[in-house]
Amino acid sequence: MENLPTSDSNFISTKKIWAVFNRRWLPGLAVFIPIMFLTSIAASIRQPLFEAQGKLLFQKNNTISSLTGVGTEINRLEALTRNTESSPLNTEAEVIRSVSIVNKTISRLNLTDDEGEPVIFDKFISRLTVKNVPGSDVLEIAYQDQNPETAAAVVNMLMNVYLEHYESLYKAEVSAARRFLEKQLPIAERIVRQAEANLAAFRENNNVVSLQDEKSESVKEITQIQSKTAEIKNQIANLTSQAQEIRKQLQMNSKEAVTQSSLSQSAGVQDTIQQIQQVEVQLAEKRTVFNDNHPQVVQLQSKLAALKQLLQGRIQQVAGGSPVTANSNLQIGQIKQQLSSRLVELESTRQGLVSELASASNYENNYKQRLTKIPRLEQQERQLEGKVRASQSTYSLLLQKLQESRIAENQTVGNASKISEAIVPRSPISSALVYYLSGGLLASLAALATMYILDVRDKTIKTFDEAKDLLGLTILGVIPTFNKSKKYIRGEESLEFPASSLVVRDMPRSPISEAFRMLRANLKFMSADKELKVIVITSSVPGEGKSTIAANLALAMAQMERQVLLVDADLHQPVQHQIWELTNSQGLSNLIVGQSEINHAVKKVMVNLDILTAGVVPPSPASLLDSKRMASLIQNFGSSYDFVIIDAPSLNVAADAATLGQMADGVLLVVRPGVVDSVNAALAAEILEKSGQNVLGQVINAVIPQNESHSYYYFTKESDFQEHAVSSQKSQADRF
């Protein structure tokens, strides 16, 4: 489906708005008149208002603070949030509207109301306007009052109070900061002294002068000691090798060589050895002459023993307790003596080098131990130095800020300045015409809003189009409303509809009667292939006029000289006996239970039309209607009459209509705009669809022409109605 042109869409929207206006104009008028009346009264008694204006200029930084460089951050105008709507000027506007500034202004000007009481805050604020001038850093302050002098005085006083407040607030903040700094400065100084004392004690206790230099020197010393140690080890190895070779030649160890060398170099030992040798020579000579008992031999033996004993004593004295074997040669040659001396020298030198190596190792270990302690000492020193620097920095910062606060406390402050004082206004800002126009606009908007809200909240189907679009059923008839007596012009006749529901009988030539005949014709068109004899007429909810539709449709069919039976099957709230002004003592319920005969229960109301009223209302209508007896009666009625029209209960009251629809040839759904809502109508259509009914279509009942956007829903000539019926039938055929 192609989209409608824009002009057609606007036309349809305009007609919808006009339809809403036609439906809801009375409540809208009820809202419009009181508001307009009250506005007119208020405009007539309202005195003219005068408005005075003043302006404040704001700078991001104070000029003097910018020049001195002191206090630039204290009175800096900046937004705290990154919200695009946040602005320092909006913040200052709220400060100007604050309670303290407003009350101080009221107090200084002694502003009073009509009763002589001080003006309350809310009333003052309602007259005050503080806004930002677009594209500038200027705030415009305006105040409205019936007295022009008062309006100007209020604006000027309010700006003065705000500037005083701004300066006093700044002074108070700076003074509080100065007092805080003066209190914290001695504490910071004590912390500095304590940190410096801790650092000095650490260096003294750990013999620290410069750990970095000490670490470098320690590494250097360790390197030198290691180099020297390696050299000593090489020397010791060389001396050991030489000593080992000499010991092999002497066949004695170093200690023996030392002892032997000492003995060979001892004059007493050598003299004694020579004497012993001399005595031994003499003894040998004497023995060649004398025997061993000879006194000379004995004397020489005694002398030899004494000398040997003397030798042993001297040997022990020289050897120092070192063991000397008996086979030891106490008189060695010059070479061996030199070798022994060399061995002793080598051993002595080696021992010296060993001692020197041990001393060097001790030095190296000491340096290494100190070197391992240096990182921890450096960490402790850095921590102590960091505390000293931090405390000194804090102290310096506090001292600097104290000086700045003292300077800032004495300098002129303020980012705001008055650039335009309020002058006394000469003319009022509003006139009575403005109030009348505003009242009219307000009343119109309120009336339109009322009509719109009422129409939106009303969920009932209001127009023919809504019923057609919602249910999607074939429209077999459109019946205009005839609840009240109305006059219509048909040709040259003046017709007046009576209050009776039987329009087809009482006003056979009226347009409404033509609508029922059109319904009859449409039903005939639908039964071209299969004749419709039994039709059930129902609705979604009570009050949609299904009984009236059934009665008038029966009249329209009877006018075709067909035998028609109208059955009132609404055993909950029967009304057909009231429409036809009949008694209801016997009827359908009596026939079903066998308490009456058809000849007695059926009543003839006119030629070709019989009525079967509901009869006595039973306690369980559903069980009676959903019975074999009821099915048999409908079959009997169908064979006896040309048309049988059954007035069934509404679908939301009971399932009787669905039950009767299974026994009939088709179901006709009555929809009345303004009575049924969209929910119940959709539910009724769903019930009929799920129960497998042969839904013939829908009849739009009680259509109000004023509520429709199309004028052809109500006709004054029969030809017009026939023309609409044909076009409607064609459109339905195209859709189905």
Residue 38 has pLDDT above 60, yes or no: yes
Residue 523 has pLDDT above 50, yes or no: yes
pLDDT score for 322: 57
- CA-to-CA distance for 499 and 482, rounded, in angstroms? 8
**Contact, 428 vs 47, CB < 8 A?**
no
pLDDT score for 334: 59
Residue 580 has pLDDT above 90, yes or no: yes
**Domain match, 335 and 481 both:** no
**Domain match, 247 and 337 both:** yes
**Domain match, 192 and 271 both:** no
**Domain match, 265 and 405 both:** no
Q: What's the pLDDT band for 140 if we cut at 50, 70, 90? A: very high
**Contact, 584 vs 615, CB < 8 A?**
yes
90-104, 194-208, 587-601: which range is least confident on average?
194-208
419: left (phi over 0), alpha (psi -120 to 50) or beta: alpha
pLDDT score for 612: 94
Q: Domain ends where: 334, 355, 376?
A: 376
| DSSP assignments along 114-153, one per residue | TTSSBPPHHHHHHHEEEEEPTTSSEEEEEEEESSHHHHHH
Three-class SS of residue 545? coil
- Within-domain flag for 604: yes
Residue 121 has pLDDT above 50, yes or no: yes
- Cβ contacts of residue 465 below 8 Å, gap of 6+? 708, 709, 710
- CA-to-CA distance for 159 and 104, rounded, in angstroms? 11
> Hey, how many other C-beta atoms are within 10 angstroms of the C-beta on 29?
12
82-86, 171-175, 198-202, 415-419: which range is least confident on average?
82-86
- CA-to-CA distance for 517 and 297, rounded, in angstroms? 195
- Within-domain flag for 93: no
Nearest CA among 674, 721, 702 for reference residue 479: 702
- CA-to-CA distance for 308 and 292, rounded, in angstroms? 19
- Cβ contacts of residue 386 below 8 Å, gap of 6+? none
- CA-to-CA distance for 696 and 520, rounded, in angstroms? 12
**The tokens of 391 are what?**
């405390």
**Domain match, 290 and 401 both:** no
Phi/psi of residue 539, each to 5°? -150, 175
Buried b / exposed e along 602-632 (16+ C-beta atoms within 10 A): bbebeebbbbbbbbbebeebeebbbeeebee
Residue 488 has pLDDT above 50, yes or no: no
**Domain match, 331 and 253 both:** yes
**The tokens of 705 are what?**
């022409």
Q: How many CA atoms lie within 13 A of 245 on its CB side?
A: 8
Q: Where are the alpha helices (DSSP H) in 411-543?
A: 432-457, 464-471, 503-506, 511-526
Interstrand relation of 643-647 and 602-606 (parallel, antiparallel or unpaired): unpaired
- Within-domain flag for 41: no
Which of 25-39, 293-307, 386-400 has maximum average pLDDT?
A: 386-400
| 336-388 tens-digit pLDDT | 667 777 777 777 788 888 888 888 888 778 877 777 777 887 787 788 888 88
Please give the residue range of the domain that contains residue 393: 179-207+383-410
Tell me the sheet residues that pair with 132: 139
Q: Domain ends where: 376, 401, 419?
A: 376
173 or 654, higher pLDDT:
654
Residue 323 has pLDDT above 60, yes or no: no
- CA-to-CA distance for 614 and 618, rounded, in angstroms? 10
> What's the mean per-residue pLDDT of the chain?
77
Three-class SS of residue 618? coil
| Strands across the sheet containing 50-58 | 128-132, 138-145, 50-58, 416-420
CA separation, residue 589 to residues 617, 618, 625, 635 (Å): 7, 7, 9, 16
- Within-domain flag for 595: yes
pLDDT score for 708: 60
Residue 1 has pLDDT above 70, yes or no: no
**Domain match, 183 and 273 both:** no
Q: What's the pLDDT band for 459 if we cut at 50, 70, 90? A: low
- Within-domain flag for 239: yes
Helix (H) or strand (E) holding 600: helix 598-601
- Within-domain flag for 267: yes
421, with CB counted inside 10 A (0-12, 13-18, 19+), is middle
Helix (H) or strand (E) holding 428: none
pLDDT score for 451: 74
Residue 23 has pLDDT above 80, yes or no: no
Rg (CA), the chain: 67
- CA-to-CA distance for 143 and 130, rounded, in angstroms? 9
**The tokens of 524 are what?**
């005939």
* Helix 334-410 with 211-250: angle, nearest 10 deg: 170
Rounded to an integer, the average pLDDT of 574-596 is 91
CATH number of 586's domain = 3.40.50.300
> Hey, how many other C-beta atoms are within 10 angstroms of the C-beta on 65?
22
Phi/psi of residue 670, each to 5°? -95, 130
- Within-domain flag for 486: yes
- CA-to-CA distance for 577 and 585, rounded, in angstroms? 10
**Domain match, 655 and 568 both:** yes
| 491-510 tens-digit pLDDT | 333 333 344 678 989 888 88
**Domain match, 542 and 606 both:** yes
Nearest CA among 200, 51, 28, 205 for reference residue 128: 51
**Domain match, 471 and 370 both:** no
Which of 258-267, 321-330, 726-735 has maximum average pLDDT?
A: 258-267
| 52-106 tens-digit pLDDT | 999 988 876 655 554 444 445 555 555 544 554 557 788 888 888 899 889 999 9
| DSSP assignments along 372-395, one per residue | HHHHHHHHHHHHHHHHHHHHHHHH
**The tokens of 583 are what?**
């008694």
**Contact, 46 vs 436, CB < 8 A?**
no
**The tokens of 406 are what?**
């003292």
296-305, 477-486, 506-515: which range is least confident on average?
477-486
Q: What's the pLDDT band for 414 if we cut at 50, 70, 90? A: low
Residue with tokens 């048999």: 632
**Contact, 101 vs 95, CB < 8 A?**
yes
**Domain match, 277 and 396 both:** no
**Domain match, 599 and 510 both:** yes
Beta strands per DSSP E along 375-458: 416-420
Phi/psi of residue 134, each to 5°? -55, 135
- Say how many domains are in the chain: 3
- Within-domain flag for 444: no
